[in-house]
Structure 1
Amino acid sequence: MTEVAHTPRVFSGIKPSGGLTLGNYLGAIKRFVATQGQGMETIYCVVDLHAITVWQDPADLTNATREVAAGYLASGLDPAQSILFNQSQVSAHAELGWILNCVARLGWMNRMTQFKEKAGKNAEKQSLGLYAYPSLMAADILLYHATHVPVGEDQKQHVELTRDIAAKFNHDYKVPEFFPLPEPVIEGPATRVMNLRDGTKKMSKSGESDMERINMTDDADTIAKKFKKARTDPEPLPETYDELSERPEARNLVDIFAALSDTKPEEVLADYAGAGWGQFKPALAELAVSKLAPISVEMARMMNDPAEIDNILGKGADRAMEIATPILHRTYDIVGMIRSRGR
């Protein structure tokens, strides 16, 4: 049977654990919003099944799932233009995930650096889900025959694994065009936002100090305070971006400024070369407040009306299932599963 050509389609998701940060906004959500209306279907997910690879308090998971959805919506994601849903409402993710577990090879999973980083010396005590979640991520993507996956640099390896799994499935079952080989989309400044107290570490939801990160729920005063207190070095800003290669905190703040202002780091330095931090950090704080404070206000409004969020997620799940179900059923047919119910 000849497979149809693949519709250009974007898929990506954010895990609801620990709250959204500026890293989520600049590295993901801002780019998701910009992709709307660009000629490709856009599907965005709150990947709550991924969240439980480590223990989550059930009430906290419910709240965090709504908060991620509120972050998407407050940042400009339009549920009329994009499909927005939480992963667990579309059971096909888990179903395809199992099939792809049986396609992925153990050696491939052993090469996934994120598991090694998260598990550390306690790998034997980690859940099987944490080990296998890159295979579920492959299912998330391939379930929609997605062709493009906006991700941060740290997720590129998982998209490459998705391509390997898709290629092996297509080869093993002699359906060379069934699953597309999706392309990771990594572009723009600040695709990896770093810690405000240590520019060598990624900004994290789970960092020890709240001053390390900008939370998307922070109010205007808190955002300004955190940027003004961000760690820097004694040198003024240079003329060229290359001169920041050994200045991680300075480079991070310049990258953030560029991403928030939709410019390039080189353009930021053209405006601020020779400036000290007493000039640059207040300007960055003012810019950040102008961009982020309205989002935090809208998120707070939405979180006070969880029924509105749940309704949007439910409708999005219905739309997602319209795409996913035929692809899952075709996958079952290819694998040789009998599907005689309701046919």
Structure 2
Amino acid sequence: MSDITPRVFSGVQPTGNLHLGNYLGAIRKFVALQESHACLYCVVDLHAITAQLVQDDLPGQIRSITAAFLAAGIDPKKHIVFNQSRVSGHAELAWIFNCVARIGWMNRMTQFKEKAGKDRENASLGLLAYPSLMAADILLYRATHVPVGDDQKQHLELTRDIAAKFNFDFAERIEAAGLAVPITAGEESTEGYFPITEPLIEGPATRIMSLKDGAKKMSKSDPSDLSRINLTDDADAIARKIRKAKTDPDALPSELDGLKERPEADNLVGIFAALAERPKADVLAEYGGRQFSEFKPALADLAVGILAPISAEMRRYLADPSHIDAVLKDGAERAGAIADATMKDVKDIVGFLRD
């Protein structure tokens, strides 16, 4: 018997251009986590086809996400960067988990309800089973930790439920095969095969809103390019979008309470605070009482200083797709070695015959 190797897994869908919200909400955290954890970062291309089967340029989108990982500072030699569809274990384990999970669990997923809308009978089966594939993504590597935002907490809870049910249903076989390891879930300790994956939540979540509407989340799908800062935007585009960002006529407040009922002001202060890694209260202490005509140039300088080098690196990587492909191939081979070992165990536990 041996302990499970501490490991972080996370993924990003290759759908549209990455923007500032993706960087602050996920990719920058990925970069920080590699200093303290063994990490697998995945471009989850199987997930990309759940809502839209036919993509205009899926290979280009996969490479773009990979370029963003590399440009932001993820080291593909020390850690593992790959695209999901290259490792067949994701789909294999997802099918087994489809048989572990209950339909009632899937029907309670709020993201399915939101994405399927009123026409849920016409939604793809893949969209309904999306959380089961997500559980397979994580547990294929027996990942112990996953960085999560508010919109993924429910899916991680489902992953934990699937792991616990698999461990319970196959407890005798896991023990008989000598595959049981110590498992901790909260304050409870037991034994099983899959870990009860823990969320990594680092500080308050930064919710980046549209530059044109402070009540709407920044989105790749917004028809207005001025609503978001893309990670491929150059310095001029970044500064121009901040200058044109929607504001109100009042000066910035000096206290946090003054941002209530002022969504655009709150958003721009939040972006400044997130980029500078400072509390919003500190930003208001410095800029409170000033007009946006003074604040926006400071925000533009800060954003350009952080994002423009990443943008330039992304464009450099995208100009050499063969290098990106080599990174993904190498990552998939290393991820596949871990995945193959897991699937060997799982097939033995379930009772499948194999070579």
Where do residues 277-316 of structure 1 align in structure 2 (5 Å cutoff)?
277-316=292-331
Query: What whole-Å deviation, never above 9, does each CA across 1:286-313 have from its counterpart, x for those lacking one?
Result: 1111111111111111111100000000
Once the 2 structures are TM-superposed, how far is the Cα of residue 191 of structure 1 from its aligned partner? 3.2
Give yes or no for contact 2:207–2:217 (8 Å, CA) kept in 1: yes
Where do residues 10-89 of structure 1 align in structure 2 (5 Å cutoff)?
10-38=8-36, 40-58=37-55, 60-89=57-86
What 5-or-longer segments of structure 2 have no aligned partner?
A: 175-190
- Give the aligned partner of residue 235 of structure 1: 250
Once the 2 structures are TM-superposed, how far is the Cα of residue 57 of structure 1 from its aligned partner? 4.3
Give the paired residue count.
337
Query: What whole-Å deviation, never above 9, does each CA across 1:114-163 have from its counterpart, x for those lacking one?
Result: 11111112212221111111110010011111111112211111111111
Give yes or no for contact 2:148–2:200 (8 Å, CA) kept in 1: yes
- Give, as a single letter, the amino acid of the residue that structure 2 aligns with 1:141: I
- Give the aligned partner of residue 260 of structure 1: 275
Once the 2 structures are TM-superposed, how far is the Cα of residue 235 of structure 1 from its aligned partner? 2.8
2:116 matches 1:119: yes
User: d(CA) in 2 for partners of 1:109 and 1:245?
Assistant: 36
Where do residues 98-117 of structure 1 align in structure 2 (5 Å cutoff)?
98-117=95-114
- Give, as a single letter, the amino acid of the residue that structure 2 aligns with 1:15: Q
User: d(CA) in 2 for partners of 1:233 and 1:190?
Assistant: 24
Once the 2 structures are TM-superposed, how far is the Cα of residue 190 of structure 1 from its aligned partner? 5.2
Give yes or no for contact 1:145–1:180 (8 Å, CA) kept in 2: yes
Candidates 216, 224, 231, aligned match of 1:201: 216
Give yes or no for contact 1:35–1:42 (8 Å, CA) kept in 2: yes
What secondary structure is seen at the aligned counterpart in 2 of 1:180?
Answer: coil
Give yes or no for contact 2:149–2:205 (8 Å, CA) kept in 1: no
Where do residues 138-287 of structure 1 align in structure 2 (5 Å cutoff)?
138-174=135-171, 175=174, 176-188=191-203, 191-287=206-302
Once the 2 structures are TM-superposed, how far is the Cα of residue 61 of structure 1 from its aligned partner? 0.4
Alignment TM-score, normalising by the size of structure 1? 0.94
User: d(CA) in 2 for partners of 1:214 and 1:57?
Assistant: 26
Give yes or no for contact 2:41–2:81 (8 Å, CA) kept in 1: yes
What secondary structure is seen at the aligned counterpart in 2 of 1:98?
Answer: helix
- Give, as a single letter, the amino acid of the residue that structure 1 aligns with 2:323: E
User: d(CA) in 1 for partners of 2:310 and 2:257?
Assistant: 33
Q: Percent identity?
A: 62
User: d(CA) in 1 for partners of 2:159 and 2:342?
Assistant: 16
User: d(CA) in 1 for partners of 2:248 and 2:205?
Assistant: 19
Once the 2 structures are TM-superposed, how far is the Cα of residue 194 of structure 1 from its aligned partner? 1.4
What secondary structure is seen at the aligned counterpart in 1 of 2:100?
Answer: coil
Alignment TM-score, normalising by the size of structure 2? 0.91
- Give, as a single letter, the amino acid of the residue that structure 1 aligns with 2:144: T
User: d(CA) in 2 for partners of 1:14 and 1:69?
Assistant: 9
User: d(CA) in 2 for partners of 1:182 and 1:157?
Assistant: 13
- Give, as a single letter, the amino acid of the residue that structure 2 aligns with 1:161: L
- Give, as a single letter, the amino acid of the residue that structure 1 aligns with 2:90: H
User: d(CA) in 2 for partners of 1:190 and 1:298?
Assistant: 26
- Give the aligned partner of residue 6 of structure 1: 4
Where do residues 122-133 of structure 1 align in structure 2 (5 Å cutoff)?
122-133=119-130
Once the 2 structures are TM-superposed, how far is the Cα of residue 58 of structure 1 from its aligned partner? 5.0
Once the 2 structures are TM-superposed, how far is the Cα of residue 195 of structure 1 from its aligned partner? 1.4
- Give, as a single letter, the amino acid of the residue that structure 1 aligns with 2:197: P
Change over 3 Å in CA distance of 1:288–1:190 after alignment to 2: farther
Give yes or no for contact 1:116–1:123 (8 Å, CA) kept in 2: yes
User: d(CA) in 1 for partners of 2:294 and 2:205?
Assistant: 21
- Give, as a single letter, the amino acid of the residue that structure 1 aligns with 2:105: W
Give yes or no for contact 1:53–1:130 (8 Å, CA) kept in 2: yes
Give yes or no for contact 2:100–2:166 (8 Å, CA) kept in 1: yes
Once the 2 structures are TM-superposed, how far is the Cα of residue 189 of structure 1 from its aligned partner? 5.3
2:91 matches 1:94: yes
- Give the aligned partner of residue 179 of structure 2: none
Query: What whole-Å deviation, never above 9, does each CA across 1:256-301 have from its counterpart, x for those lacking one?
Result: 1112112222221221122221111111111111111111111111
In terms of mean alpha carbon deviation, does 5-14 or 178-187 score higher?
A: 178-187
- Give, as a single letter, the amino acid of the residue that structure 1 aligns with 2:106: M
- Give, as a single letter, the amino acid of the residue that structure 2 aligns with 1:128: L
User: d(CA) in 2 for partners of 1:334 and 1:292?
Assistant: 48
Give yes or no for contact 1:254–1:265 (8 Å, CA) kept in 2: yes
Once the 2 structures are TM-superposed, how far is the Cα of residue 56 of structure 1 from its aligned partner? 4.9
